[in-house]
Structure 1
Amino acid sequence: MDLQPPALKVMVIDDSRTIRRTAEMLLKHAGCEVITAIDGFDALAKIADHHPRVIFIDIMMPRLDGYQTCALIKHHSTFRSIPVIMLSSRDGLFDKVRGRTAGSEQFLTKPFSREELLGAIKAHVPGFAAVEQHAP
C-alpha cells in the first residue's frame, strides 16, 4: 500500500476570479490542496476551518484589504506562524515595506509564474516538494 503524505493546504485570497483560478490551477498541478477566498472577511472564516500552511493574499481588495487581513492573521496566536505572501500588480518599495510591516514574509508581483508561487512555498514551508501531476 502506497501511503502519500497529505497535500499541502494553500490559501489564495484575491477578489479577481481569474487570479484565483490561475493560482488554483498552478498549485493543484503541483499537488497542493487549494482553498480560495474572495476577500479578507471570507478568508478569515476559512482560515479557522481549513488551517492552511501558507497564504497568498492580494493587497487591493474591497472591504478588508491584504494589509489589514495579513495584520489580523499575524496578531492571532493560532495563525501567526502561517507564512503570508503578498500578491500585487504594484511593485513599489512603499508597497513592499507596508507588506512587511503588516507581517508578510514575501511579496510577489502579478502576473506571477508557477515557479514564483512554488518558490515562495519552498522558501517558507519546510519539507515542501512539488508533486508533478501529468495528464494521461
Structure 2
Amino acid sequence: MGDDFSSLRVMVIDDSKTIRRTAEALLRNAGCDVVTAIDGFDALVKIVDTDPDVIFVDIMMPRLDGYQTCALIKNNSRYKDTPVIMLTSKSGLFDKAKGRIVGSDKYLTKPFGRDELLEAIREYIPQVA
C-alpha cells in the first residue's frame, strides 16, 4: 500500500477496555504511536502532554461524554484543527448532527476493523494518503 503511519500519534478515548485494546492493537500494527485515555478528563490531560495528530473518541462515556470532550478539544485554539473522529454504537442521524455541532470530523460505528480505522486517518492526514 505504501502508507506510512509510523510518524502518527493517535489518541483513543473510550471507557471500554476492550475497545481501547482493540483500537490500540490495530493502530500499533499499522505503525502508529498510540495513546489511550479512559474518559474525557483523562484525555484532556494527555492531549496536552502528547499532542496527537488524530483523536478517536467514544460518545457514550461517564463524567464527560464524547460530545463534551470533542467540544472542549475543538474550542482550544491549539487543537481546533486536530481531526476528532467519534466512535459510536449508534449511527443515527441525530447523533451525527450533534457530532457536527460540536465539531467532530467523522463517525465510525462500532464494531470497527483495521480498514475503517486506517481509512478514517487517511482521510484527514495528507502524508499517509
Q: How does 1:59-70 map to 2 (within 5 A)?
A: 59-70=59-70
Identify the residue that residue 14 of structure 2 maps to in structure 1.
14
Q: Deviations over 1:80-115 (max 9, x none)?
A: 110000000011000011111110100000001110
CA RMSD, 1 decimal: 1.4
Output the CA distance in 1 between the equivalents of 2:43 and 2:30.
Answer: 22
1:41 has 2:41 as partner: yes
What is the TM-score of this pair, normalised by structure 1? 0.89
Output the CA distance in 2 between the equivalents of 1:77 and 1:7.
Answer: 23
Output the CA distance in 1 between the equivalents of 2:128 and 2:100.
Answer: 23
Cα displacement (A) at 1:128 = 1.8
4+ runs deviating over 6 angstroms:
none
Q: How does 1:100-119 map to 2 (within 5 A)?
A: 100-119=100-119
Query: Which amino acid counterpart does residue 97 of structure 1 have in structure 2?
Result: A
Query: Which amino acid counterpart does residue 59 of structure 1 have in structure 2?
Result: I
Output the CA distance in 2 between the equivalents of 1:80 and 1:6.
Answer: 23
1:26 has 2:26 as partner: yes
Cα displacement (A) at 1:5 = 9.0
Identify the residue that residue 76 of structure 1 maps to in structure 2.
76
Cα displacement (A) at 1:7 = 2.5
Report percent identity of matched pairs. 66
Query: Which amino acid counterpart does residue 108 of structure 2 have in structure 1?
Result: L
Output the CA distance in 2 between the equivalents of 1:128 and 1:72.
Answer: 27
User: What secondary structure is seen at the aligned counterpart in 1 of 2:127?
Assistant: coil
1:97 has 2:97 as partner: yes
Query: Which amino acid counterpart does residue 79 of structure 2 have in structure 1?
Result: F
Query: Which of structures 1 and 2 has the bigger CA Rg?
Result: 1
Output the CA distance in 2 between the equivalents of 1:97 and 1:113.
Answer: 24
Structure 2: runs of 5 or more not aligned: none
What is the TM-score of this pair, normalised by structure 2? 0.94
Alpha carbons of structure 1 residues 19 and 6: separation in structure 2 relative to 1, 3 Å: closer
Question: Would you say the 8 A contact 2:5–2:32 is kept in 1?
Answer: no
Identify the residue that residue 53 of structure 2 maps to in structure 1.
53
